[in-house]
Amino acid sequence: MDPKNTQLRIFFFPFMAQGHTIPAIDMAKLFASRGADVAIITTPLNAPLIAKSINKFDRPGRKIELLIIDFPSVAVGLPDGCESLDLARSPEMFQSFFRATTLLEPQIDQILDHHRPHCLVADTFFPWTTDLAAKYGIPRVVFHGTCFFALCAAASLIANRPYKKVSSDLEPFVIPGLPDEIKLTRSQVPGFLKEEVETDFIKLYWASKEVESRCYGFLINSFYELEPAYADYYRNVLGRRAWHIGPLSLYSNVEEDNVQRGSSSSISEDQCLKWLDSKNPDSVLYVSFGSLASLTNSQLLEIAKGLEGTGQNFIWVVKKAKGDQEEWLPEGFEKRVEGKGLIIRGWAPQVLILDHRSIGGFVTHCGWNSALEGVTAGVPMVTWPNSAEQFYNEKLITDVLQIGVGVGALYWGRAGKDEIKSEAIEKAVNRVMVGEEAEEMRSRAKALGIQARKAIVEGGSSSSDLNAFFKDLRSQI
Ligand code: UDP
């Protein structure tokens, strides 16, 4: 059969954490809507959540299949059902969780042998899938879940180790070789780059770097106009074959999917929209730290004081259940901010909120999905990174794109050192919400939001790169 007419069969194998699964579901929908036959490989606990967000998508000629594998939580000493990274609540559980993923190989082997897809899109944290897929002649494509900028910054730090040449943790250094002069401090460099000890996670991280040159290529959740110099650098200087196909959040913008992204929302769509509709354009601050970060009670108290001090409207997402003892809230807080501030305890419909016209600013931990969702919504940001590659993402937002200001986070992994005081929070929030500087950032952010939407329609940069990806895959058949 002519490869041009063969229906592409593409399997996705996302890492079991919301920040990885959510964009993988969006990709699966995108590929299926372009006519590919798509399956997502996942575990029993994650399957119902994924099913919920793909059910509405199913219609004749457009189906996403779920293939279920067991997750060996008990084999590594985790409680039964601990199948998502947010449930691994201690450093030991975190390491065991990554160890468990390395035991999945025989099940993936069986799936590939049985189904023989044309391509396996597997998360960066499954480095062993590269050689496994190669055994069956299947191209393995990597999904990192981050942007070109962060990948370039990490590559430079790994190659040059500039943080070894400074005399203190807080002395700034320039990340060598990047298109812009980007400064970091050693305290902001990810711990896993600096550590000498080999934890399960660190082993996996270096294994994922080691296999990169043997992978078929990289799918990137970004769009060219957002970071052209870094997209070019990644391809031309680092020599990686990559296709940018984002912002992926725009593809789930159908029917109820923005409410059902990830976990079930703790607030109804009606209640949320009613609240937002009652506010003026650009007058509400949205505050969220993603799906994994957990903040101490004393840090939450500082945030509460800071928010109240700004006098701005806000929606604040806190990963806490409603309880009698809310030591993280100042006495009488909710009463005082009634009508002005809404606390969502649990899971928020983030994209639905960010895209509402009354949202005027976003306090974010700079997880890439959140950062890009903020860009797509056209809102200026207060950046408050904590872990993973979030400190690089902060620099993209504040220094390169100039659509945000840092709250002053200095320590990767926080390590109990980085409590940000209410005054600093208040100051950063006011800078993105009111005044000339805020208006300038907002207009740059809105312009990027418009470009993001253009990128995914026919003829746009992401749409064209997706076509190129399909064409490249077909040339492999
Ligand atoms: N998210 C959400 N509601 C929440 C928290 C997070 O919808 O209450 C979504 C958010 O929109 C994003 C993802 O979960 O798509 C989090 O990914 P990100 O990369 O921002 O951060 P991570 O959780 O991986 O640290």
For the Cβ of 146 lying below 6 angstroms from any atom of ligand 1, the answer is no
Inter-helix orientation angle 18-33/368-377, to 10°: 60
- Alpha helices (H) along 252-408: 269-277, 297-310, 333-336, 350-354, 368-377, 390-395
Domains 9-251+456-475 and 265-453 alike in fold: yes
Beta bridge partners of 218: 142, 242
Q: Is the pTM value of this prediction over 0.95?
A: yes
Range of lowest pLDDT (1-15, 78-92, 199-213):
1-15
pLDDT at position 220, please?
A: 98
Contact between 43 and 69 under an 8 Å Cβ cutoff? The reply is: yes
Q: Which residues have a catalytic role annotated?
A: 20, 123
Query: Looking at ligand 1, which atom is closest to the CA of residue 371?
Result: 20
Six-digit token pair at 268? Answer: 């109804």
Query: Looking at ligand 1, which atom is closest to the CA of residue 354?
Result: 11
Side by side, the strands of the sheet bearing 242-244 are 64-68, 37-42, 9-13, 119-123, 140-143, 217-220, 242-244
Q: Is the dihedral of CA 400, 404, 409, 411 positive or negative?
A: negative
Contact between 9 and 118 under an 8 Å Cβ cutoff? The reply is: yes
Mean pLDDT along residues 106-131: 98
Contact between 82 and 93 under an 8 Å Cβ cutoff? The reply is: yes
pLDDT at position 322, please?
A: 78
CA of 21 to the centre of ligand 1 (A): 10
For the Cβ of 372 lying below 6 angstroms from any atom of ligand 1, the answer is no
Contact between 252 and 259 under an 8 Å Cβ cutoff? The reply is: no
Determine the Cα angle at 63 with ends 58 and 68, to 5°: 105
Q: Which CATH superfamily is domain 265-453 in?
A: Glycogen Phosphorylase B; (3.40.50.2000)
Residue nearest to atom 16 of ligand 1 (CA): 19
pLDDT at position 254, please?
A: 54
- Domain locations in the chain? 9-251+456-475, 265-453
* pLDDT tens digits, 173-188: 999 999 999 999 999 9
Determine the Cα angle at 259 with ends 51 and 289, to 5°: 105
Architecture of domain 9-251+456-475 in this structure: 3-Layer(aba) Sandwich (3.40)
* pLDDT tens digits, 385-394: 999 999 999 9
pLDDT at position 473, please?
A: 96
Percent of the chain surpassing pLDDT 90: 88
Query: Looking at ligand 1, which atom is closest to the CA of residue 351?
Result: 11
